[in-house]
Amino acid sequence: MTDTIFIITIFDTRAYHFYSYSNPTSTFYVIATKLISDFQKSSERKCRLVGTVPAENLIGRRYRSCWHNELALPIYQGDHVADTVGTGLVHTAFAHGFQDYDVALSKGERVESFVDARGCYTRHLGHDLDGKHVHGDGQKEALRILNHDVIHAAKHIHSYPYDWRTKKPVIIRSSEQWFIDVDEVGKRAAAMIDEIAVSAGDSDLRGALKSLVTTRNSWCISRQRVWGTPIPGLVDGNGGTYTSRKLIEHVANLTRESGNTDIWWQIDVEEILANEDVRKSLGDIPEGITLTKNSDIMDVWLDSGLAWHAAKLNDMEREHVADVVLEGVDQFRGWFQSLLLTSVAVQNRLPYKRIIVHGFCIDEHNNKMSKSIGNVVDPTMLTDGSLKQKAIGADGLRFWVALSGSENAGESKIGPNIIENVDKQVIALRNGFRFMIGGCQGFTGNGFSEFPHLKTLDVDMLQNCHAFVKKSIGNYEEFKFRTVANDLTQFVQRNFSANYVQTRKGGNTAFEEAQNHIVI
C-alpha cells in the first residue's frame, strides 16, 4: 500500500472528493470535503484530490458490496448521516437500525434480518459468519473478512444501546410483530385530553400527551418472552397469520371454564380448529399449510392499559372510569397513554378523570437510585431505623413524600441530610400538636358559647385556623399535598408557635384560660 491515496469529493453542504493510491490508478476513495483534513491526520496518509462531485450525483448509483462481489447495491441519502466524523458515508443495515429502517421504507426496500433470535449471523452472509455471535466471534470474523478493503481503522466513541439490567450491549434487530393501528384512535383521544385534570406541579403536561397520541401511528403489542398473556393467533411457515374475534373469545372461554391461565400453551392446534365457528372465522387456509400456535405474548402496556375495565363499583355501572391514576412523568409515554388509547378505542371515552405525577427518587448527589451503585434508600430503614439511621416513623416518611414526591414531575432528592431535616420538621409539628391537645383539656365540645369573652388574640387565632383548614381541604381535593405540607409547617411554626403560643405564654396570668381557648 502506497503512502498516497487519491480522493474525489462530493459537495452539497457536504462535499465529497475522490482519492486514489497511485497514478495511474483504478481505485478511488470517496470522502466528504469537510472530513479530508481529519482523515489525513487520523490515517497519517497523504491524500491527492482528483475530483469533486455534487452529492446528488451519487444518489441512486450503485457500489460493489464488500460482502458479495457480485452484488451492486444502491447509494441512498440519509438525513441521519453526519459530516462531522468518519467519511460522510455510512453502511446502512435496514434490519438493524431505526433510521436505517426508515430509509428502507422510504425507498420500498425489502427488510431482511441476517441475525437470528440468538444474536447470531445466519447462513445468508456466508459460511464464515454462519452461527457466530454478533458480539463475539462474529465481530472478529466480520473484521477479518473486511480487512482487504480497509485502508484505515480507528476507534470512535459513540452512543450505543445497552441493556439497563445487565449493563451489556445489545443489537437492534427487525422481526415480525403484531401491531394496532392507532392513528385514528389517537386523534379521537387528543380531542378529549383537555377534560383531564393533571396534577404535576407548575407543569401542564396535557399538551405533551396530545402530541404523543397524535403523532403515534402504530403500536407494537407483541413481545417475545417466556411468560405473559398470549396473543391468540395461528401462523404458517410462510409468515402468514390467522386470527379472529371468534378465536380470541374461544380461548377466553376455555380459560374461564378451566380456570387454567396456561390453556393456550397446552391445547393443540387441532383442538382449536375442531370448533367449526373458529375454523370458519379464520378464512381460507391453503391446502398443505401447517399451522402452529403463535408464541408471542402481549405487551405489558396493553395488558396494564386495560386496567380501566376494573374501575367500576358494580355491574350496574355503565362507565369504566378511574377517579385518579398516579405515576411518574415517564408514563405519559407508557401507562397513561396505553390506558387512554385502549379506553377510547373500546368505549370511546376517557379512562380516568385525573393524572397525578410524582417525582423520581435520586440521592443527595443527583444520582439515580441503583442497587448496583448501592444508593437505594430502603423505606423500612426510614420508618423503623437501623444502626446508622434514626427512625422517623411512618409519619416522617409520609411527610417527605408530601414535601418532595408530590406536585413534582421532576426529581425528588432523599438522603441523610434531607431525612434529618424532615425529622426536625415533624418534631416541630408534633410539639405544636401537643400544646394544642393540652389546650383541649376541659373542653366539652359544646361550641364557643362557654367562652363569651375571648380576647382579640384568641379570636384572630381561631379565624386564621379556620382559613387554614378551609384552604387545606381545597388543596387536598386538588391533590396538592406539597402545598398542604408547606402550609402546615408555616402555620404551626409562625402563626401558632411563634405568634400565638409565645404571646400567650409571655406574662399571661390566666394561662389556663388561654389553653381552653385553643381549639382546632
Q: State how far the Cα of 478 lies from the Cα of 354, in Å rounded to an integer.
A: 10
C-alpha cell belonging to residue 359: 417525582
Residue 431's identity, in one-letter code, is N
pLDDT score of 217: 87
> pLDDT for 425-483, tens place per residue?
898 888 888 887 877 777 776 665 656 667 777 788 888 888 999 999 999 988 888 89
Once rounded to an integer, what is the mean pLDDT over residues 359-369? 83
pLDDT: is 346 or 439 the higher one? Answer: 346
The rounded radius of gyration (Å) of the Cα atoms in the chain is 34
pLDDT score of 374: 80
Q: Reduce the DSSP state of residue 309 to 3 states and report it.
A: helix
Q: State how far the Cα of 323 lies from the Cα of 325, in Å rounded to an integer.
A: 7
pLDDT score of 520: 38
Q: How much is the pTM?
A: 0.72
HEC per residue, 423-477:
HHHHHHHHHHHHHHHHHCCCCCCCCHHHCCCCCHHHHHHHHHHHHHHHHHHHHHH
> pLDDT for 127-176, tens place per residue?
899 999 999 999 999 888 888 888 888 888 888 889 888 888 988 988 88
Instruction: Kindly list the distances between the CA atom of residue 334 and the CA atoms of 209, 331, 439, in Å, as whole numbers in the listed order.
Output: 11, 4, 51
pLDDT score of 249: 93
Nearest to 205 by CA among 26, 461, 409: 409
With a cut of 80, say whether residue 346 has pLDDT above it.
yes
**Residue 377, CA atoms < 13 Å, CB-side half-sphere:** 23
Question: Interior CA angle at 440 toward 436 and 441, to 5°?
Answer: 125
With a cut of 60, say whether residue 512 has pLDDT above it.
no
Nearest to 47 by CA among 75, 5, 110: 5
Lowest average pLDDT, out of 88-102, 301-315, 390-404, goes to 301-315
Query: What percent of the chain clears pLDDT 90, i.e. is strictly above it?
Result: 21
The mean predicted confidence, pLDDT, of the chain is 83
Instruction: Kindly list the distances between the CA atom of residue 296 and the CA atoms of 98, 176, 238, in Å, as whole numbers in the listed order.
Output: 22, 10, 17
Q: State how far the Cα of 254 lies from the Cα of 281, in Å rounded to an integer.
A: 17
Q: State how far the Cα of 117 lies from the Cα of 173, in Å rounded to an integer.
A: 9
pLDDT score of 188: 93
> pLDDT for 32-49, tens place per residue?
888 888 888 888 877 788
Q: CB neighbours (10 Å) of residue 56?
A: 11
pLDDT score of 239: 78
Using a 10 angstrom Cβ sphere, with 0-12 exposed, 13-18 middle and 19 or more buried, the burial of residue 193 is buried
pLDDT: is 117 or 11 the higher one? Answer: 117
